[in-house]
């Protein structure tokens, strides 16, 4: 049908916009406060759609092929889920952040214990890096999240988190397991060939869901910028610095694996899926925690675009054509 073909073509075009689209999305909510206010109430649903689409785009056989380097995957997963949260929360405690601001400390805990964003393999491929290692690490960390997050949240956040660690784990398991099952059911019903043929439109739908998610997160940020510009500026500088430190530190630790794998892991570790944590908590976090969460999206959405030239020069790659994502799929947070 012409209308269906036109719609599919439009979605496929949207899905090919790559890092440019990601860099712009985060600012749409700031520029359109009324839209952000409305979409904030459906950001959990948008995240579920993103998770389902991300799982749908994963070939089960490809997943099995990713675990040819189990020692590196295990080491990367332990670094991501155990060492990084311990370092971040330990540094925060040593710096007196819990006493200065419970809300900021809670935000740091949620950021630290979160797994990598679902789109980290797509980002790695976009940069011409080792997407296979990124995908394998994502699988392990996502599968372990319902076990590690409740324990770490109880250890570091304690009563500051309104949701009990047990119910947090149950919600995470339901969200991840439920979306994976839905994606599996779609793949079984429609067939793997159909998924491949519809990869472009599926990616366009991912961008649309990401638009809802990202714009909703920006609710109130514009007002905070006008009312408390120095606070927002300080948080922005902090989250960019923290993200870059995690990227550099990860690259140094895994440098023996090679530049491409180390950089792929660095980008993944630096982009934490705080959206999954806040969604599991039902959005029940203090206003300042929500503001930190929103500002923390800036480096996630903009650094892939800003770092492309640097990474391509450092790895000796010519890079991908502008707008080409290399691997289809939009990252979420």
Q: Where are the beta strands (DSSP E) in the chain?
A: none
Q: Enter the tokens of residue 183.
A: 């994606």
Q: Judge contact between 49 and 202, C-beta under 8 A.
A: no
Higher pLDDT, 286 or 73: 73
Average pLDDT over residues 29-51: 78
CA distances from 195 to 12, 88, 125, 134, 138 (A): 13, 39, 19, 22, 21
Q: Does the pTM of the predicted model rise above 0.85?
A: no
Q: pLDDT digits over 160-188, tens only? A: 665 566 776 777 778 778 888 998 899 99
Higher pLDDT, 203 or 193: 193
Q: Which range has the worst mean pLDDT, 16-30, 138-152, 269-283, 301-315?
A: 16-30
pLDDT of residue 60: 72
pLDDT of residue 87: 95
Q: How confident is residue 120, by pLDDT bands cut at 50, 70 and 90?
A: confident
**For residue 313, with 0-12 CB atoms within 10 Å meaning exposed, 13-18 middle and 19 or more buried, which class applies?**
exposed
Q: Enter the tokens of residue 60.
A: 């089960």
Higher pLDDT, 19 or 244: 244
pLDDT of residue 97: 92
Q: Distance (Å, rounded) from C-alpha 184 to C-alpha 121? A: 19
For the chain, the residue count is 333
pLDDT tops 60 at residue 329: no
Q: How much of the chain, in percent, has pLDDT values that exceed 70? A: 77
Average pLDDT over residues 238-264: 91
Average pLDDT over residues 83-105: 92
**Alpha-carbon torsion 276, 279, 284, 285, what sign?**
positive
Domain extent listing, the chain: 17-315
pLDDT of residue 233: 92
pLDDT of residue 332: 43
Q: Distance (Å, rounded) from C-alpha 302 to C-alpha 304? A: 6
pLDDT of residue 212: 78
CATH of domain 17-315: 1.20.1530.20
Q: How confident is residue 274, by pLDDT bands cut at 50, 70 and 90?
A: confident
Q: How confident is residue 49, by pLDDT bands cut at 50, 70 and 90?
A: confident
Q: How confident is residue 246, by pLDDT bands cut at 50, 70 and 90?
A: very high
pLDDT tops 50 at residue 325: no
Average pLDDT over residues 24-33: 73
Average pLDDT over residues 52-80: 79
């Amino acid at each position: 049908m012409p209308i269906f073909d036109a719609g599919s073509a439009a979605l496929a075009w949207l899905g090919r916009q790559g890092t440019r689209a990601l860099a712009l999305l985060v600012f749409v909510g700031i520029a359109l406060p009324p839209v952000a206010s409305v979409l904030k109430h459906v950001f959990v649903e948008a995240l579920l759609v993103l998770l389902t689409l991300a799982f749908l785009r994963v070939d089960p056989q490809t997943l099995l092929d990713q675990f040819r380097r189990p020692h590196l995957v295990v080491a990367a997963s332990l670094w991501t889920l155990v060492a990084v949260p311990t370092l971040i929360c330990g540094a925060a405690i040593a710096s007196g952040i819990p006493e200065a601001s419970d809300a900021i400390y809670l935000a740091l805990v949620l950021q630290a214990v979160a797994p990598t964003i679902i789109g980290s393999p797509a980002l790695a491929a976009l940069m011409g890096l080792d997407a296979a290692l990124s995908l394998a690490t994502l699988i392990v960390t996502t599968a372990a999240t319902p076990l590690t997050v409740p324990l770490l949240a109880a250890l570091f956040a304690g009563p500051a988190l309104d949701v009990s660690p047990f119910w947090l784990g149950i919600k995470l398991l339901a969200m991840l397991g439920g979306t994976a099952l839905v994606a599996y059911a779609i793949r079984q019903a429609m067939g793997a060939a159909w998924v491949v043929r519809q990869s472009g439109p599926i990616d366009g739908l991912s961008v649309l869901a990401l638009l809802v998610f990202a714009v909703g997160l920006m609710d109130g940020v514009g007002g905070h910028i006008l009312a408390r510009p120095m606070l927002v500026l300080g948080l922005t500088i902090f989250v960019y610095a923290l993200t870059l430190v995690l990227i550099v530190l990860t690259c140094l630790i895994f440098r023996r694996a090679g530049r491409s794998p180390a950089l792929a892991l660095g980008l993944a570790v630096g982009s934490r899926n705080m959206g999954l944590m806040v969604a599991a908590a039902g959005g029940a976090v203090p206003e300042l925690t929500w503001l930190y969460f929103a500002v923390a999206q800036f480096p996630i959405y903009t650094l892939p675009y800003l770092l492309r030239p640097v990474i391509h020069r450092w790895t000796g790659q010519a890079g991908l054509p502008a707008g080409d994502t290399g691997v289809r799929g939009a990252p979420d947070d």
